[in-house]
Structure 1
């Protein structure tokens, strides 16, 4: 474990950190690393919002999910490696900076990837990130003899797949393969990417820290919620510039804020660290399931942005489509959050029936002709607030009962 002082660590031998290391928390470097993903997520969310406003939401959904996978997978790889091997010395910091540069290049390529299906810059940014990660794993292989085979499997698997991504770019986008082959090749490479960690850790599992991982996922959730607030703020700015303050604007903006706060509350009802500690074998499904949770939050930000914007100016998307642009991400978030929580918890904190009841919000956009976009978002927000109340009510009753039985001291 790296020493806890503030002195500069020029060189620290890379070895597996203890699984039960006390007081393990996200480092300042990890927080700085996350800031680059703020830029990347903002870029992909803004692009989806643009497609929604132009009435091309469905056409923009697939590029959004593809680019968001690259963002999420790069963050995933860094996070789990850092949980096992963070030395915070000079070499580690410089290689992390290289990965941050790759994220920024990827973010710069989002508009071309989502708008023109040109994945050149995204592929380049992904390559830069992966080079830094492969070097980290090679260093772990050299310095941590006990886990050498695992580290070499990671380094080899990542390197081979990165070559495959580059080959895909030249064959599909610059070569002669038909455009119809793009999606099957992408899905195949994604499946192989997801298989690398499982394959590598068959030899010897890495020593990732469950509470550290849970904290890192929580921090990324906050980043995505913050991006949704930022996206809604962009919509408010556009609406104010076009038509000034209106009752519809106030209702949508206020309901959007309450909605995001409720979703934040629901996520942090669970302390996933203990569950991951007891059920490490389910960490793959728990971690991979968060792709849908995170993508839903990012898509929700885009939907809220356009919903707020249309209160002050016309957009090409229909009011019903805007209702679905909010309802679908919310439902996806609730269902996937319930599924991921169930993987690591003995008993669900949120009653499954309550979650299924909230799925009826998928039908709310059908009422848009009568209650408008503002009414749809307000009811969705109220449903999530009710879900929070249902989730915390048993705990509140139990605490009050225990206090009553305890009596005065």
Structure 2
């Protein structure tokens, strides 16, 4: 384990990485389903907060594995077995997600999370032993991760009143570890490989949106037949997903010349991934509103879709501008799309939830088209 070449040509995701990602499909699906239930039961505030916490655990474990693998993937027997242990950890975490939403009980989630993180600590210790040039960073990673895991375990016995405060502190500590560990010699992660891995996770999340939406549409059609609102929701939702996919995959690989840029780009995708997955929950809540199930209002359902779409547009606009890639770095062309989508969310009672979602799909498509036109005809001058 001496470090991969960051200039390696034709570096691509391995079959093991793809299998690893499939375990995260389960965890993302659990989080999305539970968020939908919280919205349907009329608890959007608590549901969103819990969803954000659970998704942080999912995303952070995935992200740390991905960046480590980009630098040190040996694909030998010890590496594969430790990856298997991390896969087991994410499945344990996924099994504990319902208890977090139902009772605020993080016990099983923490157990699964700590399994994944300590498996990665073992990988870092191996790299420290076998790659002298990167030993300092590897040992800092191992030490930092271990200390924070002790904090997560201790948090299980903290008073309920400290629950969210301790979560924020420990999450901030997790985010600080890479910045501290990489302060000297940067690990040999591969920019092109990292960009591909993030793209693959985006596909996974969008796939969850499509799957959840399809299941909800199918249930609605089976129960009451195909109505105009359901048809508009299905068409608008598909258009929305396709337009967001197009936005995510415009431009080439992200340019990450400095540690600060790399961390901003990597961390910023937490909001992108979490918001994309939440769109699926919003689509299911919208179908609940059409079928008069649960306690979600038409405006609430519209905002359950509009808010995550706005987050995706805003964050990708910022990240595309920072990395000088992609089409969404034109602030004056992203802002109208954000405003229109927000207005459609608030105006869902007047337009009907189906019309509002179709309008969101058209608004995001128009935002994409305007930005692509600007890139083609004006280039960086409009940024």
- Normalised by the size of structure 2, how large is the TM-score? 0.95
CA gap of 1:90–1:330, structure 2 versus 1, over 3 A, is same
* 1:180 maps to 2:167: no
Detail structure 1 runs of 4+ shifted over 3 Å in the superposition: 278-281, 346-350, 394-399
1:139 aligns with 2:126: yes
Query: Does the Cα contact within 8 Å between 1:16 and 1:85 map onto a contact in 2?
Result: yes
Which whole-Å CA distance do the structure 1 matches of 2:122 and 2:325 have between them?
39
State how 1:159-238 maps to structure 2 within 5 Å.
Answer: 159-169=146-156, 171-172=157-158, 177=159, 179-238=160-219
Q: Is the Cα–Cα contact under 8 Å of residues 279 and 344 in structure 1 kept in the other structure?
A: no
2-structure distance, mates of 1:396, 1:204: 38
1 CA distance for matches of 2:262 and 2:282? 30
Structure 1 stretch displaced more, 90-99 or 198-207: 198-207
Question: Bigger CA drift: 145-154 or 232-241?
Answer: 232-241
What are the Cα deviations for residues 175-232 of structure 1, in whole angstroms up to 9, with x where unaligned? xx2x221111110111111010111112321010000001111111111111110110
Q: Which residue of 2 aligns with 1:10?
A: none
Select which of 374, 379, 382 maps to 2:354.
374
1:311 aligned counterpart, secondary structure: helix
Which of 51, 56, 75 does residue 64 from structure 1 map onto?
Answer: 51
Deviations 1:37-88, CA, capped at 9 Å, x for gaps: 0000000000001111111122211110000000000001100000000000
Does 2:29 align with 1:42? yes
Secondary structure in 2 matching 1:335: helix
**1:105 has 2:92 as partner:** yes
Q: Could you tell me how far 1:397 is from its partner in structure 2? A: 5.9
- Give the aligned partner of residue 273 of structure 2: 294
Instruction: Tell me whether 1:383 sits opposite 2:363 in the alignment.
Output: yes
Query: Comparing 390-399 with 298-307, which one deviates more in the overlay?
Result: 390-399
CA contact (8 A) 1:368 1:375 kept: yes
Residue correspondence of structure 1 range 10-409 to structure 2 within 5 A = 14-169=1-156, 171-172=157-158, 177=159, 179-273=160-254, 275-276=255-256, 278-345=257-324, 349-360=328-339, 361-394=341-374
Equivalent pair of 1:253/1:308 in contact (CA under 8 Å): no
In the alignment, is the contact (CA less than 8 A) between 1:238 and 1:309 conserved in 2?
no
How far apart are 1:311 and its partner, in Å?
A: 2.6
Q: For residues 33 and 121 of structure 1, what CA distance do their matches in structure 2 show?
A: 20
Q: Which ranges of structure 2 fall in alignment gaps of 5 or more residues?
A: none
- Equivalents in 1 of 2:123, 2:161: separation in Å? 36
Deviations 1:125-180 (A, max 9, x none): 011111210110010011111111211111111111101100001x22xxxx2x22
Q: Distance in 1 between matches of 2:164 and 2:300?
A: 25
Higher alpha-carbon deviation: 233-242 or 306-315: 306-315
Asked if 2 retains the 8 angstrom alpha-carbon contact of 1:33 and 1:100, the reply is yes
How many angstroms apart in 2 are the aligned matches of 1:350 and 1:376?
26
How far, CA to CA, are the matches of 2:347 and 2:106 in structure 1? Answer: 39
